Amino acid sequence: MADLCPVCGSKLQPHLARWHFECSGCSYEGSSLEPRILAQAAGGDLDEAERESALSELRKSNFLMLSQRLEALLPPRDGGRLLDVGSAHGWFLEAMSGRLQGLGLEPDVAVADAARKRGVQVRSGFFPDALEAGERFDVISFNDVLEHIPDINQTLKACWDRLLPGGWLVINAPSRRGTLYRISRLLLRVGMAAPFERLWQRGFPSPHVHYLDTNVVKALALRHGFQFETHMALPSMKIRGLYSRIRYAKDVSVPKAAVMTLALAVAYPVLAAMPPDIQVWFLRKPE
């Protein structure tokens, strides 16, 4: 990981773990965890069937809310092109299918193949390398993806280059201001590292390398010429599918997953009323 903050250029300081860093000048948090999505064991490091089952209801519900908000921001006309980076199973493309012509990019070959079999237009590969030279879009979205990409500045530059004038950049990501994330930091300080490591997805094939908040996104928008327009919150958890969500990491035992599920289910009403762990930020390229 670089020594300087990718947002403001200040010194990055080791903080809560040897792989965790905080900026001395702004609210950015980062990690030195390395993605290895193309170097997984045979069959994948995660239980993908369990993961799909766990996330399906939550993501589809969230994408419905997100699509409604985005449609309200778009010009009152049909048409336009959407690029969903890291499109996974294609759920956001399906949510926007009545409004925009969608294309997904997905580096996990097995997941991309599964989406294509369901009729979703998904191209295997990484952004922006998998795009053709002249491809431009009205909307580029990152749904739980940007926080996994090491070079955030090169990625945003590529977004600027690939967006049409007046186009929208949608960043849907975990927030460092969220309740569960703040609790995990407190637990780490008293010797319980597992929740903090799970939220950073340490040991996963595509761990988090950034944790963002609204101030960080505004600074990145300014740095790259985007207008920061608005933001919204999304729920990060549903009771249904929670056990499967915990279990899809193959190193979590059945008893441990059961205890974690029970604890989160009991705390759910309180957590739902506190600062959300998922934020969506809407940036616009000037016309």
CATH topology of domain 47-207+215-284: Rossmann fold (3.40.50)
Note the pTM of the prediction, 2 decimals.
0.86
Per-residue pLDDT reduced to its tens digit, 124-175 = 999 999 999 999 999 999 999 999 999 999 999 999 999 999 999 999 999 9
Tokens standing for 54? 């766990």
Mean predicted lDDT score pLDDT of the chain: 87
Burial of 39 (0-12, 13-18, 19+ CB in 10 A): exposed
E strands, 24-145, where?
A: 29-31, 81-85, 101-106, 122-124, 137-143
d(CA 55, CA 257): 16
Domain ranges of the chain: 47-207+215-284
d(CA 67, CA 82): 12
Please tell me the predicted confidence (pLDDT) of residue 43.
Answer: 45
Per-residue pLDDT reduced to its tens digit, 43-89 = 455 555 555 655 678 889 999 999 999 999 998 876 899 999 999 99
Establish how many alpha carbons lie within 13 A of residue 217's alpha carbon, considering only the half-sphere containing its beta carbon.
Answer: 26
Strand-pair partners of 41: none
